[in-house]
Structure 1
Amino acid sequence: MDTTSVWRATAPGPGFAMLQDDVQCDVLAVGGGITGVTLALLLAEQGRRVVLLEAGEIGSGTTGHSTGNLYATTSQGLSEIASRWDDDVAREVVTQRKAAIDFIELQCRANPLAVFTRCPLVLYAREASDDRGVEEERQALARAGCLVRLDDRVPAGLPAARGPVMVLEDQAQLQPQAYVVELARRAAKAGASIHEHSRVLDLDTRNRVATTATGSVKAGEIVLATHSPKGFHLVHAEMTVHREYAVAFEAGAQDPGAGIFWWLGEEGLSIRMLGQGGKRYVIAAGPEHKTGVHNAKASLLAVEHVATQVLQPGPPLYRWSAQNYRSHDGLPYIGRDHTGCLIATGFSTDGLTWGTVAARGIAAELAGQADPFLQRCSPGRFTPAKGARTLAEENVATVRTLVEDWLTHGQQEQLSSLAPGDSAIVDSEGETFAAYRARDGELFAVSAVCTHLGCKVRWNSMETSWDCPCHGSRFRPDGTVIEGPAIAALRRKQAQLG
């Protein structure tokens, strides 16, 4: 199944060269999403020598597979921040996120392809059990000083609301792929060295050296802007990892107009419109699912089915998914951790806005300007009371996955019986490996053990990948890393057919 996002399909390609030498710089940013690219631009404008390494293409990770929504609240709700922390922290969150949206708007003024639009966020419920969540969010936003009101209906073309409809004014949307590509070009023009297809294969945090297949970078500072930091970091034990699925349809007869529409509930959707290249799209994203322990294809088809039933759009044109990492206490992790690197992670599904907050904050910190909010978001913070349940659930789930996978034997299946498109975890001659036969008949056999912390990977039929349920590392059928904290590929195995 093709999983190209509408953003990457309708934006110009970036086209930066691979790293081809051993270089030195002041700051190395690893990751070419909104965090790394924004940081590269800001640091280059400060006059610093900056190198940015991207494993794929600029925006090819979570940024180019997001929903393109920007808002002052968070996807989990500002009420969640207020309940775990307090109203003062909730107000800080709103202030930081509003400033990030204003910054993005400023950058978009010379970039019409980014399609930046101010619009309201509309939150409502279709079941009585979700009405309380709408009211709690309205109250939290009002206490934080946001312009919020209640309405009695949603725009035409959306499924009807059961109760009051919360409207948060002056939020925004953009075309994230077009935005980040233009930002990268501006960063390069300002002096940053940007390299695509330059995956970091070894990261020496002590000596501040990153090595790729064709070169290396020695830096004064390393910033890991890869959504989840590469290698071994304490924050991995504090984050839950999920995937979210989205579909872009040709717009139907009903058009609710500009807005971020959140419909709460088990089948709830995030809905928005996009007009680009003379075409009109309706985009629907569904609920989150824990990486590696769900049926990816079924999850995506469920979003497509519900959206088709309630929105009555035209045919589906693009299908995609994105991974997110949720912190244990509701705030992201931004700053220096025990490895000496600067990291930016734990954004949940709010990466466009939090990524911009992180880049601006790290750039200020490297310029010697203290940021009290970044101190609150320190990766080394100790707040067990604010996220004890999340921490316990995540660690129990990880241990259970490890134990179950290592006590469960592989499928007793002969590799020769794998049909094109089939996959299996196979035991053979005392070894367990992950096998997949491509549509053209080629057989791939790799170690089933994730190279990050030893969990066993599981097959993702929609995206043709092996996904780790513990910390979200994902691998192609040949074992190469797609995303996540893992650096090393899954070891290729010489499988005997029989």
Structure 2
Amino acid sequence: MTPLWKSDVSLPAGTPVEPGRRHDVVIVGAGLTGLATALELVRAGMDVAVVERGSIGELASGSNTGKISLLQGTTLSSLRRHHPASLVRAYADANRDGFEWVTHAADELGVPTTVRTAITHAQGADGVAAVTEEYRAAREAGLGVRLATADELAAGPVHMAAAVALDGQRAIDPMSLLTALASAFVAAGGRLHLHTAVRRVRVVPRPRVETDAGPLFAANIVLATGAPITDRGLYFAKISGMRSACVSFDLEGDVPDGMYLSADSPTRSVRTVTAGDGAGADGAPQLIVGGAGHPVGRTESELGMLEELIAWARETFPVGAETHRWSAQDYTSHNRVPFIGVMPRTLGRVRFATGYAKWGLTNAPAAALRIASELRGEKLRERTAWMKVIGTRLTVPADLARGAKENAKVGAVATRGWAEAVSRSTPVARPAEGAGTVAQHHGRPVGVSTVAGETRAVSAVCPHLGGVLEWNDLECTWDCPLHASRFTAEGARIEGPASTGLRRLR
């Protein structure tokens, strides 16, 4: 499960932690949000440290499809359905600034990109209305979209009943970008602490992050971790975690070089990879197909969904050998707009960003611009207009309804998970290779799995809010269906709002 982008990349070594050191800003997370924020601040003369549990681009930032686009499926029409045009335009403007920042950074740092046309299309008649609605919302928000002509529809790589297109977008190798940003940050004097887990964030008596290498103190802290790693503000209940998968293939024929995304279900994402935006050392073109989206921990078989995606790709495109397969996790706010700003009940010392809904390559640098603006001390009147609009948006009834619906699902999943766990008792038969099962031992759910020939038992109760974990048969992980925390087969925390791993039982 290694992304195409990570198969041939030289990662920076980072800098050693100096326990007890005080910085102006400590940023948790070395994805695009964290590194863009860090580079903005260190170039403004601040003492900045970035702390990352793994390496750079460990999670979503290094595992996306490399599409830098302002046309984002049906995002704008989904927003416009329940929000005023001013908010939709602000969202588009934020992403436009994010687009300009990331493409300028790529050009400055020598990271190649290719210019592409982004296309949102209907796979059948049922999706035509969604395409039309997206076209109208995008035009209203100031994007120069157009409806595809009959010739363009016929020339597409898949059947398209209708399509909206936006020219002048970009494709990129995201890991090349992240590596360049990290190197530029360190060269400018920043501290990059990799393979250093943050255990807790505290505000009083002095703001600090507690890591497994010791504490780091700061005037301000930024959580660039996907889901915030603190429950202040209860944002875990205001976002939903979604996983999706990608597969790359060698190409054995021609496929148009647009960046395609379906407006109707099942969602399919398609783009070619060329020597200019991420192809391997031999420069041979490849095809990335994405899909298999589902709420974290709430599907019968992640592996089965991926196999269905692969079968569709082989039936549809002139592909040869599969080269890579990978998954990523994204978070969507219930009101469809990212949360960016000050974390409640932190005395204004902790900032965060979350809820990019799979469009982090533009939303992440936009978030970085806003957070950096605030930390540089810029007054509200000095900030870009979209920052003010998004920062003061109102919650509408539809937002509350979506949140209530999602949290009702969480409650139902929690109840079902406990009921199913206690219906099976240990000992259980040794799971087959790559399989896992949940049973109860003295009334407590236990997760038993076999990976690489080793059978392990861990607590199957998420340490965040007590959800019973589900086995992910594609990635061999324990996933929480409540708020999307994830753990390795050994119980180590991977991501999500949980701050600790699982208790090892055997």
> TM-score of the superposition, structure 1-length normalised?
0.93
Task: Please state how far the C-alpha of 1:381 moved relative to its aligned partner.
Answer: 6.1
| Alignment CA distance shift 1:296-1:138 (3 Å) | same
Give 1:467's aligned residue. Answer: 479
Distance (Å, rounded) in 2 between the aligned partners of 1:144 and 1:427: 53
Q: Distance in 1 between matches of 2:499 and 2:22?
A: 21
- In the TM superposition, 1:312-391 aligns within 5 A as 312-340=318-346, 341-369=350-378, 370=380, 371=383, 372-378=385-391, 383-391=395-403
Q: Kindly indicate whether the alpha-carbon contact (under 8 Å) linking 2:15 and 2:191 is maintained by their aligned counterparts in 1.
A: no
Q: 1:95 and 2:102 equivalent?
A: no
Q: Give the aligned partner of residue 67 of structure 1.
A: 65
Structure 1 stretch 149-158 or stretch 319-328: which is displaced more? 149-158
How far apart are the structure 2 equivalents of 1:165 and 1:423?
42
The reply on whether 1:83 has 2:92 as its aligned counterpart is: no
Kindly indicate whether the alpha-carbon contact (under 8 Å) linking 1:335 and 1:374 is maintained by their aligned counterparts in 2. no
Q: CA deviation at 1:473?
A: 0.5
Shift of 1:330: 1.5
SS at match of 1:78: helix
Please state if 1:119 is matched with 2:119.
Answer: no
Shift of 1:415: 4.6
CA contact (8 A) 2:80 2:88 kept: yes
Q: Equivalent residue for 2:133?
A: 136
**2:19 is the counterpart of 1:10:** no
Q: Distance in 1 between matches of 2:396 and 2:262?
A: 31
Matched with 1:210 is 209
After TM superposition, the structure 1 stretch with the greater mean CA deviation from structure 2, 484-493 or 24-33, is 484-493
SS of alignment partner, residue 320 of structure 2? coil
Q: Deviations over 1:284-332 (max 9, x none)?
A: 1115201001121112112111121112312211101111111111110
The alignment covers a number of residue pairs equal to 487
Does the Cα contact within 8 Å between 1:57 and 1:197 map onto a contact in 2?
yes
- Name the residue aligned to 1:309: 315
What CA RMSD, in Å, does the superposition of the two structures yield over aligned residues?
A: 1.9
Tell me the CA shift for residue 20 of structure 1: 5.0
CA distance in 1, matches of 2:369, 2:419: 46
Query: 1:177-215 CA deviation, whole Å, 9 max, x = no partner?
Result: 110111011011111101110110222233322122222
1:245–1:288 CA contact under 8 A, matched in 2: yes
Residue 155 of structure 1: CA displacement? 7.0
Rounded to whole Å, the distance in 1 between the matches of 2:42 and 2:5 is 26
- Alpha-carbon deviation of 1:429? 3.6
Contact 1:334 1:374 in 2 (8 A): no
Q: Is 2:113–2:171's contact at 8 Å kept on the other side of the alignment?
A: yes
Pick aligned residue for 1:423 from 412, 436, 439: 436
The match for 1:392 among 398, 404, 410 is 404
Shift of 1:428: 2.4
Q: Give the partner amino acid of 1:458.
A: E
Q: What code does the residue aligned with 2:325 have?
A: R
Greater shift, 408-417 or 241-250, is seen at 408-417
Q: The residue matched to 1:289 in structure 2 has which SS?
A: strand
Is 1:488 equivalent to 2:482 in the alignment?
no
Residues 355/8 of structure 1: CA separation in 2 closer, same or farther (3 Å cut): same
Task: Determine the C-alpha separation between the residues in 1 that align with 2:252 and 2:18.
Answer: 48
Matches within 5 A, 1:2-41: 3-41=1-39
Q: CA deviation at 1:454?
A: 1.1
Residues 411, 424 of structure 1: 8 Å contact kept:
no
The answer to whether the 8 Å contact 2:227/2:331 transfers is yes
Tell me the distance in 1 between the aligned counterparts of 2:335 and 2:245. Answer: 24
Rounded Cα–Cα distance in structure 2 between residues aligned with 1:21 and 1:172:
41
Cα deviation, residue 414, structure 1: 2.4
Q: Which range is displaced more, 18-27 or 277-286?
A: 18-27
Are the equivalent residues in 2 in contact too, given 1:119–1:169 (CA < 8 A)? yes
On the 8 A contact 2:71/2:120 being kept in 1, the answer is no
Task: Label 1:415 to 1:20 Cα distance change in 2 as closer, same or farther (>3 A).
Answer: farther
Q: Distance in 1 between matches of 2:483 and 2:369?
A: 27
CA distance in 1 between partners of 2:343 and 2:393 (Å): 10
* Match of residue 240 from structure 2: 240
Task: Measure, in 2, the Cα distance between the counterparts of 1:424 and 1:168.
Answer: 46
Structure-2 change in CA distance of 1:80 and 1:416 (3 Å): closer
Contact 1:230 1:486 in 2 (8 A): yes
Q: 3-state SS of the aligned residue for 1:182?
A: helix
**Could you say if the C-alpha distance between residues 76 and 222 of structure 1 is closer, same or farther in structure 2, counting changes exceeding 3 Å?**
farther
What TM-score, normalized by structure 2, do the two folds share? 0.92
Instruction: Give me the whole-angstrom Cα distance separating, in 2, the residues matched to 1:237 and 1:11.
Output: 36
Q: Deviations over 1:333-359 (max 9, x none)?
A: 000021422110011101111111000
Is the counterpart of residue 300 in structure 1 residue 300 in structure 2? Answer: no
Q: Quote the offset at 1:387 in angstroms.
A: 1.1
- Describe the SS at the equivalent of 2:449: strand
- Structure 2 distance, partners of 1:358, 1:185, is 21
Residue 290 of structure 2, aligned match among 273, 285, 308:
285
1:389 to partner: Cα distance: 2.8
Aligned in 2, Cα 1:111/1:249: closer, same or farther, shift over 3 Å? farther
User: Is the Cα–Cα contact under 8 Å of residues 156 and 255 in structure 1 kept in the other structure?
Assistant: no
Measured after TM superposition, the shift of residue 62 of structure 1 is 0.5
The whole-number CA distance in structure 2 between the counterparts of 1:301 and 1:62 is 21
Quick check: 335-344 or 202-211, which moved more?
Answer: 202-211
Q: What is the CA-CA distance between 1:439 and the residue it aligns to?
A: 2.4
Aligned equivalents of 2:114, 2:179: Cα separation in 1: 18
Aligned to 2:255: 255
What is aligned with 1:222?
221
> Whole-Å Cα distance in 1 between the matches of residues 273 and 202 of structure 2?
43
**1:375 deviation in Å?**
4.3
Query: Which blocks of at least 5 consecutive residues in structure 2 are unaligned?
Result: none
Q: Where does residue 230 of structure 2 map in the other structure?
A: 231
- Over 4 Å off, 4+ runs: none
